[in-house]
Structure 1
Amino acid sequence: MQNTTQSLMINDQVSRWQVYTAQEALYSSAVKHIEEAARNAIAGHGKFSIVLAGGSTPKSIYQLLPKIDTDWSKWHVFYGDDRCLPPEHEERNSLMAHEAWLKHVAIPSSQIHDIPAERGPVEAAHAYNQTLAAVGEFDLVLLGLGEDGHTASLFPGHTWDDTQSAVPVFGAPKPPPERVSLTAARLSQSREVIFFVTGAGKQEAVDNWRRGEPIPASLIKPKNGVDVYIFGVNL
């Protein structure tokens, strides 16, 4: 059952904070949100583009998505980031999403756009920039929040070229050090953005964000603001 909802203006950015008393309620609400976003996008412009996050909470949500009522042939799947590891490595976001969800539904393979991170950060970022060159505004971006305030693979203390859609990441503070990430500017080019934030370890990052400190997550600024789904963190 949803506990509280708050809307805040932080550094000229609207954020809607939805706190859940049970993880299952967060998962259910997220699935409904995704299903509705897909329905509206397909009705409005004939397709649905979604950017996926890695992590345990997104995985639990992805496992529920095969049950929704949607036209899978209209879905186009992208990734916010991935690790520079072999495609079959268990820590690849693309493998997790495939095993939890994508292999169970009829999205055409040509519409699932993995980051070719196994090619190394520079070459993979270049390739993904080409993939995204013809892609306009996303319909929905899913993101997580790290204990240090990072999101996708945009880490505190790092800089990146926001004129690009995808950038190479070196020296990530958590392994593996080499990754590819969409930039804050490109992630902001979406009709909707949802952050999933679960666990007491995220408390400091949430507090910093709500105080207006410039953590990477706060740099995601879509025109319609962001939704933050929370469990296990106090507001």
Structure 2
Amino acid sequence: MTALQTCRWHEFANRTQLEQAARRFILEIAERAIATHGAFRIALAGGNTPRYVYQSLRTAETDWSAWHIYFGDERCLPAKSPDRNSRMAQTMWLDYVNIPRQQIHPIPGELGPETAAASYAQLIADIDEFDLVLLGLGEDGHTASLFPGAAWEKGTALPTVIPIHDSPKPPLQRVSLSPARLSHATCVMYLVSGENKREAVIKWRAGIDIPASRITPAGGVDIFSSIC
């Protein structure tokens, strides 16, 4: 039986307010993690709403040397493709701060879904919990590269990192952390903005099963939302 998701909804009048609040939340979690165990392990999301939150982090005052960057999913495209989640994070944020390069861990999507998934599963095998997982929401209810109706929904024993061959949005081939692995985090934060997300949010709040509702960390999820 799938665990029930506990949601804390944080609603904002516009995307600017959402981004400012999200920035504060991320930095508070980072400060707490660094004070507790000397490192901050964050898994990043792709998408337009995270893009501007990342940009706002360029000027943050934090111990960047303690940050360790991971990714929740990736498209199987060349490493420097502007459509890669890792490339977006680099150009919007990571190229501007002093996180040691060896502490930034992109998913090697250029290797293809099977090889990339196996490689990333090995990389994260020793991580107990992420301190923070960032996720977005698609208009169809998908999160990371977990799309509704895709093969992963029928799996009974999903791997930690899933090779995706049937994405309904291009490219077809992707890699995604599994719902269980995304749930294995101290904090999970969704960033949701835009009128086109309204129907998915209505379904989510009504308790209808969508991919975003499959992420069920013990501490619940925080959803920062601006639907206007």
The one-letter amino acid of 1:127's match is S
| CA distance, structure 1, for counterparts of residue 77 and residue 110 of structure 2 | 5
1:217 maps to: 212
1:144 maps to: 136
What is the CA deviation profile of residues 21-55 of structure 1, one whole-angstrom value per residue up to 9, with x for unaligned ones?
Answer: 12111110000001100000000011000000001
Higher relative contact order (CA 8 A, sep 6+): 2
Which of 88, 105, 114 lines up with 1:96 in the alignment? 88
Following TM superposition, where does structure 1 have runs of at least 4 consecutive aligned residues deviating by more than 3 angstroms?
A: none
% identical equivalent positions: 51
Which of 120, 125, 134 lines up with 1:133 in the alignment? 125
Is 1:79–1:115's contact at 8 Å kept on the other side of the alignment?
A: yes
| CA distance, structure 2, for counterparts of residue 185 and residue 25 of structure 1 | 31
Which of 10, 13, 33 lines up with 2:5 in the alignment? 13
Which of 50, 64, 86 lines up with 2:42 in the alignment? 50
Q: Report the aligned-residue RMSD.
A: 1.2
Query: For structure 1, which runs of at least 5 residues remain unmatched after alignment?
Result: 1-10
2:194 maps to: 199
SS at structure 2 position matched to 1:118? helix
What is the CA deviation profile of residues 129-179 of structure 1, one whole-angstrom value per residue up to 9, with x for unaligned ones?
Answer: 010111110000000000110000001012335542211001100100100
1:178 maps to: 173
Tell me the CA shift for residue 184 of structure 1: 0.3
2:60 maps to: 68
Number of residue pairs matched by the alignment: 223
- Using the size of structure 2 for normalisation, the TM-score is 0.95
| CA distance, structure 2, for counterparts of residue 207 and residue 119 of structure 1 | 37
| CA distance, structure 2, for counterparts of residue 205 and residue 232 of structure 1 | 11
Q: Which moved further from structure 2: 107-116 or 13-22?
A: 13-22
SS at structure 1 position matched to 2:151? coil
Tell me the CA shift for residue 12 of structure 1: 3.5
Query: For structure 2, which runs of at least 5 residues remain unmatched after alignment?
Result: none
The one-letter amino acid of 1:145's match is L
Q: Which moved further from structure 2: 96-105 or 208-217?
A: 208-217
